[in-house]
Amino acid sequence: MMPERCPYLDPENRRSPHRKLLVSRRYLIIYTVQDDTVYIEYVIDGRQDYGWLI
C-alpha cells in the first residue's frame, strides 16, 4: 500500500500530517505516516460529520 497517495484531512493545511482514507464507503480512517510506519489515529463512521476532528 502507498499511504502517501491518500489526501490530507484538511487540504488547505498541508502542514498537518493527518491523512484520510475512506473504506467501503462507510468507514473513515484518519492516520499519519512517519518514516515507514503508519499510525492509525481514528476509525469513524464516514457518514457522520468529522469536522470536530480538524
CA distances from 26 to 4, 17, 22, 44, 45 (A): 21, 23, 7, 9, 6
Per-block mean pLDDT, blocks of 10 residues, the chain (54 long):
83 83 89 92 83 67
User: What are residue 6's DSSP bridge partners?
Assistant: none
Which pLDDT does position 9 carry in this prediction?
84
pLDDT of residue 53: 64
Q: Are strands 19-23 and 37-45 parallel, antiparallel or unpaired?
A: unpaired
Kindly report whether the global pTM for this prediction surpasses the value 0.85: no
Distance (Å, whole) CA 7 – CA 20: 6
